[in-house]
Structure 1
Amino acid sequence: MSHYSDLISQLLWHLPVNLTDIAQTITDPHVLDQIQKAWSHFIQTGQVWALLIGLFIGYIIRNLTSYG
């Protein structure tokens, strides 16, 4: 098992330094503000009604097509 861990550590040791560019760069760290803006947009555009109507219709269809 140590042979595999040695191989992996050798591979990781030789990775280029700029590999960290793959990581996401956070430009706006205010996550709660983003959630609040997304929620208000969800409400203002009426998508909440589409969600509720879809859930209701799906519930009705499930009950009509289920046996027992």
Structure 2
Amino acid sequence: MVLSVLVNKPNRVLERQKYIQASKKPLHYRMPRSGLYLSLYYSAFTVGCVGITYSCYNLIKGKPATE
């Protein structure tokens, strides 16, 4: 069967549940690669906020008057 690799996988829910519940880290850092995901999210959030702030500044400043 072609999809047997995807369908016949071991159930690791209990292992992961024990790992997460036994961890003393903050909840958002307990999963594997969570540091990577959070740093990407924080980076995108920072770039978005800086872009919005820069755009608002340019809208408020306006274009120079030409005669």
TM-score, normalised via structure 1 length: 0.37
Q: Higher helix fraction: Structure 1 or Structure 2?
A: 1
Larger relative contact order (Cα-Cα within 8 Å, sequence gap ≥ 6): 2
Structure showing greater Rg: 1
